Structure 1
Amino acid sequence: MKNERKKVLLIDMDDGRRETRIKLLNGAGYEVDVRKDFQAAERIDDEGEYDLVILALHFHPGEAASYSDELSKRNPGLPILLLTDYGVFVPRGTLSKGMESGSPMSLMKEVAKMLAGSSHIKEVPAAK
């Protein structure tokens, strides 16, 4: 039986780091597709075909939050990682949904460890 590579969608506006992240994920055996902004990802609308979506936030946290909320509504079981300079997070509610749906938490931890050097994934705190 052929072992299929996990498919990862990386949405990353940071030209300086994007190629490094792609090489890192490819080197670990993942098939990586890239979108350079949230608008491109929304136009193509194929996120549900991936095993994991990674959003590199950088200077656009508002756009990323809106996009990840919409993505979660359209694809409730899709694992999403939010990559920042301060760590790896998941959209609010994702971890509890992942536990219920059998979402691939080990994949999320493996990728988080690679990208940020830690396997600890934090959930975005509730708004105050």
Structure 2
Amino acid sequence: METAIVEDAAAGQKRPFAIFFFVMFEHIDYILANYFSAEIGHNEQEALDCLRQEVGHGTTIWKELHLQLERAFAEPEFSWKSALSRNNVCHLADEDTARKYAEKLLRSGLNTHLR
């Protein structure tokens, strides 16, 4: 596993960042970039509706996304702030706020809408 040190300018600190996160959580990045990005123009409800139509519940991609979400939320080094920012979803002030927003959007939102 290749690891780099990146500086979190907002927090004024350096933290390890594993390059493999981009690959390990590719479905999360794909979903954020292609459904929830500000560039797409959907509100949260519209993004969830589009995702439900295209992915559906119980499909292979849904199962893999669900697994990646569980792993990402369990991984202390995974930065939701960075994931949301790099996929142009939103720019939040701190990691805790970003994690809470991601939980609301992805965990709760997907579980509610993809049934």
Fold in common (TM above 0.5): no
Please state which structure has a larger fraction of its residues in helix.
2
TM-score normalised according to structure 2 size: 0.36
Please state which structure has a larger fraction of its residues in strand.
1
